[in-house]
Structure 1
């Protein structure tokens, strides 16, 4: 029998045992403090087939962040679900500017991939943070801290301390996808597991949830490119 390797993360605030599969195919067991190793082992064994199906998913768990294409005049980059032309040119600010196209300053040509990534990160903060507050108010949940992160494997995450984080690469996706990921993570503050109640909360607050899940399944690898 093939052995399943997993990492156990215990917390005194956690009431239920949950299992997650990260985008690098690693298995994380989140367990209440004091949970016996044998109990965890039995739960993992009961989920063996489900876990193998997850880690062998042909799309969701591809090698992350395929190298992006070279940034030159005439190429394009995604933003909020659409592709926009890249132009390396003089800009008034000396920084990346956007007006129906990406304008990367000549002075930053040698760092064009890095400065465009920084631009994405700033737009992600400007766009995602206010929407998290709006959806948190609608759901009636209290969020301790919101972060935009350079996460390697997940679109979003939440902790038992009510902190939520979102991958800056989401800014490349359509707004309905961003909203879905936000609602998904906030719903976990109400229901830790992917139970029917959890999905009812998500669908009630994000009617395009299924469309967003399908979009991520088809286009997620594009978002994971370096830029």
Structure 2
């Protein structure tokens, strides 16, 4: 087993999962992790032999099987599927012949006509095989623009300036703030309601002043006027589902 690799593990009667293997000089014990997308990782201290790692995995196969059953099913970006853009369900529509109003680009929003029951839609032009990538790129661009605007807004209220604002597909946290004042967010926040986005951005902006989670830090967050408790409850209940899209 190399410093980074993978191995297969049977869980249950008919299921086999791939386990990513990582060796770490800082690890003091074997650690088995499962993230919101169903990705399984085994972290090994240096010096642990392959046989010991395999035995550890087999011993925890039952635990892993029970946890995997709770992981939400992946939902691909495909025609006629629905995604919660900004917390509102939007139906995905494929438009192979393009957009009648060419100024809108390859992805555009269509609001329902008055009196019709259908909700808002996201239209994607071009070949069907390009739909997932084009929609993902569009959502990331929307997230980057929106999160940068909100970051500058909340930082200004605190008398601070923001460095770079980037988006990534992070699994363990929704946002982070570096010592240089750079903010990074999970692009999937664009799928959440506005009050949730506001809370996460305000949280990271407050770290421009307090790089901790002290009482003073939480006072700064509340000072920014976001609905902290409601957003925290929403993320706890619904956050993992955002990772199943795409």
**SS at structure 2 position matched to 1:143:** coil
**SS at structure 1 position matched to 2:127:** helix
Contact 2:195/2:226 (8 A) holds in 1: no
- The equivalent of 2:205 in structure 1 is 186
Question: Once superposed, which parts of structure 1, at least 4 consecutive aligned residues long, lie more than 4 Å away?
Answer: 5-8, 23-26
Q: Indicate how the Cα distance of structure 1 residues 122 and 70 shifts in structure 2: closer, same or farther if over 3 A, else same.
A: closer
Unaligned residue ranges in structure 1 (runs of 5+): 9-22, 27-58
- The equivalent of 1:87 in structure 2 is 93
Q: Indicate how the Cα distance of structure 1 residues 6 and 127 shifts in structure 2: closer, same or farther if over 3 A, else same.
A: farther
Distance (Å, rounded) in 2 between the aligned partners of 1:6 and 1:174: 40
- The equivalent of 1:72 in structure 2 is 79
Q: Indicate how the Cα distance of structure 1 residues 142 and 7 shifts in structure 2: closer, same or farther if over 3 A, else same.
A: farther
- The equivalent of 1:103 in structure 2 is 123
* Of 137, 152, 160, the match for 1:118: 137
| Structure showing the higher strand proportion among its residues | 2
- The equivalent of 2:234 in structure 1 is 215
| Structure showing the higher helix proportion among its residues | 1
* Of 218, 222, 244, the match for 1:199: 218
Distance (Å, rounded) in 1 between the aligned partners of 2:143 and 2:201: 12
Contact 1:91/1:103 (8 A) holds in 2: no
Distance (Å, rounded) in 1 between the aligned partners of 2:141 and 2:226: 28
Q: How does 1:29-178 map to 2 (within 5 A)?
A: 67-69=74-76, 71-73=78-80, 75-89=81-95, 90-92=97-99, 93=102, 95-99=106-110, 100-105=120-125, 107-178=126-197
1:92-118 alpha-carbon deviations (Å, 9 max, x no partner): 24612211201122x231122111111
- The equivalent of 1:30 in structure 2 is none
Unaligned residue ranges in structure 2 (runs of 5+): 1-23, 28-34, 42-66, 111-119
Q: Which has the higher contact order (CA 8 A, sep 6+)?
A: 1
Contact 1:96/1:103 (8 A) holds in 2: yes
Normalising by structure 1, report the TM-score: 0.67
Distance (Å, rounded) in 2 between the aligned partners of 1:224 and 1:207: 24
Q: Indicate how the Cα distance of structure 1 residues 83 and 143 shifts in structure 2: closer, same or farther if over 3 A, else same.
A: same
Give the CA deviation at 1:91: 2.7
